[in-house]
Structure 1
């Protein structure tokens, strides 16, 4: 199963340059890296990244994350994936720009 992380360009650049990251400022303050499922990602973008340009959608396969990935209740009682270790470039299945068109982020049609 793929889960998704939305990064600003500088956060994505940092991960590529350093090979690992503890995430965005919210991740650092919460002590884990926030992810979304395919069905949660658009709402996450609208809630936390409204109007933001220069975003990247990063896909990560859950199986290799093992016990470091925990599903915890968050927004609206839904379970969200949280990673309790650094995220590495080896974790990245793929990455793509997340363009903003008419104020709405455009997600890939083939997200699973």
Structure 2
């Protein structure tokens, strides 16, 4: 099982469960949802989420995704997973409370 990770605000995740899908603002503004691998997560936390409270870590099984997933170069030599569509909730195999 190959998994990717996404940090979400707990309120946004609760809203996703009400709606039946997860579509953060980056989907509208950038056209995709940002994900990371387990190895990339510490750098993402340090850079973007170091002081963010009330976060959850979504563990997503790649084979269950219904939208297109692409690994794209975000920085020279660093390829991050990007999901080009809403995240279907049945692809989320685990939700962990997260405190950076």
Instruction: Give structure 1 regions of 4+ aligned residues with deviation exceeding 4 angstroms.
Output: none
Is 1:97 aligned with 2:97? yes
Number of the residue aligned with 2:15: 14
> Structure 2 regions of 5+ residues with no counterpart?
none
> Structure 1 regions of 5+ residues with no counterpart?
100-104, 106-112
Determine if contact 1:15/1:88 at 8 Å carries over to the other structure.
no
Cα offset, 1:71, TM superposition: 0.6
- Cα RMSD, aligned residues only: 1.6
Query: CA-to-partner distance for each residue in 1:57-110, whole Å, 9 max, x for gaps?
Result: 0000112226711110013431111111111211111101002xxxxx1xxxxx
Cα separation, partners in 2 of 1:70 and 1:7, compared to 1, 3 Å = same
Question: How far apart, in 1, do the equivalents of 2:85 and 2:5 lie?
Answer: 16
Number of the residue aligned with 2:26: 26
Higher strand residue share: 2
Question: How far apart, in 1, do the equivalents of 2:45 and 2:74 lie?
Answer: 15
Q: TM-score, normalised by structure 1?
A: 0.80
Question: How far apart, in 1, do the equivalents of 2:74 and 2:82 lie?
Answer: 10
